[in-house]
């Protein structure tokens, strides 16, 4: 099969990859669509030492399933990216996303979704409702990550919330937080990407590289989605004392943090990663949250290197890979 193989910081299109053999508890999935996210781009830059097939956002069709799960065969599925042991201290304590022995699709010791086939444990899979097209279902993983914020931090109509970043994840986070009734502001560098949010009634602020915007102050919660030191600074400086800073980005480079301010202002720092798939699929099926306008381009898998280059361009939203 063909796939995008990362090794030694070099990404290449491999045409002679062996189709994966599912383990006893795993399903074999034929890819339909995969999404390129900033973590994939950071992986190529060296965010985490990984050798294998990239990609973790996908929708595919189950072609083979273990005994007891044959009903999955033929169904479209999306999948949680952490494959866990179920036996370690973290798993037993209900923190399975932080399993001490976990593999992570396309990130940690598990080949990912940028190939014609992939495998995942059946417990990771969620069947896609018939009314949700592939181009919408492929957003299930990043939408779940966006919804994770509300699992970690109480957000309601009385809260002033700032989202820093108007990119792929920032857009999804803004759209989910808009449903909470919070007093929401989105800050970003691209007027054209802020425009749809403004049209939907979300307050937006255009920022430049000259430093944090002076009007961004006294927020209860700030969500950092840029993965850049400038975005982190903007989010941090926008908080009131005893505010909460939620970090949703991965960083290939190191950050400089004013630890004294965190202490003096009693800032709560929350790292936020993967989230709940079932609510994400329900939200996509409801039509209450639009995602189709976030697709910038679609490439066949064999043009995957070109797709990654497209995804790296400033201001580009979601680029998809198709294996059909």
Domain residue limits, the chain: 3-139+291-322, 144-271
Q: What is the pLDDT of residue 138?
A: 98
pLDDT-based confidence at 227, cuts 50/70/90?
A: confident
pTM for the model: 0.94
Degrees to nearest 5, angle at CA 147 with 292 and 255? 100
Report the share of the chain in percent with pLDDT over 70: 98
Per-residue pLDDT at 211: 55
Average pLDDT over residues 214-219: 86
pLDDT tens track for 138-175: 999 999 999 999 999 999 999 999 999 999 999 999 99
Quick one: pLDDT at residue 251?
72
Angle between helices 191-199 and 168-178 in degrees, nearest 10: 20
**Candidates 3.30.870.10, 3.90.180.10, 3.20.20.70, 3.40.50.300; CATH matching 3-139+291-322:** 3.90.180.10
82-130 confidence digits (pLDDT tens): 999 999 999 999 999 999 999 999 999 999 999 999 999 999 999 999 9
Domains 3-139+291-322 and 144-271 in one fold: no
Query: Average pLDDT of the chain?
Result: 94
The whole-number pLDDT of residue 213 equals 62
Residues 15-58 have pLDDT tens digits of 999 999 999 999 999 999 999 998 999 899 888 889 999 999 99
Q: Is the pLDDT of residue 70 over 90?
A: yes
Would you place residue 252 in the very low, low, confident or very high pLDDT band (cuts 50, 70, 90)?
Answer: low
At 184-213, the pLDDT tens digits run: 999 999 999 999 899 889 999 998 865 556
For the domain spanning 144-271, the CATH number is 3.40.50.720
Is residue 77 very low, low, confident or very high in pLDDT (cuts 50, 70, 90)?
very high
State residue 215's pLDDT score.
Answer: 77
pLDDT at residue 11 above 60? yes
Give me the torsion for CA of 75, 76, 80, 81, rounded to 10°. Answer: 110
Amino acid 208: pLDDT? 81
């Amino acid at each position: 099969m063909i796939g995008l193989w990362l090794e030694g910081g070099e990404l290449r299109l491999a045409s002679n990859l062996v189709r994966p053999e599912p383990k006893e508890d795993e399903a074999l999935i034929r890819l339909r669509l995969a999404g390129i996210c900033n973590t994939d781009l950071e992986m190529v830059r060296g965010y985490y030492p990984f050798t294998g097939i990239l990609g973790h956002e996908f929708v595919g069709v189950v072609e083979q399933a273990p005994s007891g799960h044959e009903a999955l065969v033929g169904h479209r599925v999306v999948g949680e990216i952490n494959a866990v042991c179920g036996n370690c201290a973290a798993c037993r304590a209900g923190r399975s996303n932080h399993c001490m022995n976990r593999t992570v699709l396309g990130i940690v010791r598990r080949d990912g979704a940028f190939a014609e086939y992939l495998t995942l444990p059946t417990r990771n899979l969620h069947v896609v409702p018939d009314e949700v097209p592939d181009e919408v279902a492929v957003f299930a993983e990043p939408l779940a990550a966006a919804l994770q914020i509300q699992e970690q931090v109480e957000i309601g109509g009385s809260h002033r919330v700032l989202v820093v970043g108007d990119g792929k994840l920032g857009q999804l986070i803004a759209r989910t937080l808009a449903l909470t009734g919070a007093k929401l502001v989105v800050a970003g560098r691209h007027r054209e990407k802020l425009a749809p949010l403004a049209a939907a009634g979300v307050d937006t602020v255009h920022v430049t590289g000259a430093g944090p915007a002076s009007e961004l102050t006294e927020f209860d919660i700030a969500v950092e989605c840029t993965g850049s030191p400038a975005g982190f600074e903007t989010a941090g400086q926008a908080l009131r004392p005893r505010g909460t800073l939620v970090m949703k980005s991965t960083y290939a480079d190191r950050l400089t943090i004013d630890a004294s301010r965190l202490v003096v202002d009693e800032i709560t720092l929350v790292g936020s990663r993967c989230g709940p798939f079932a609510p994400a699929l329900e939200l996509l099926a409801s039509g209450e949250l639009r995602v189709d306008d976030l697709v910038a381009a679609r490439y066949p898998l064999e043009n995957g290197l070109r797709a990654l280059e497209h995804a790296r361009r400033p201001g580009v939203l979601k680029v998809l890979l198709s294996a059909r």
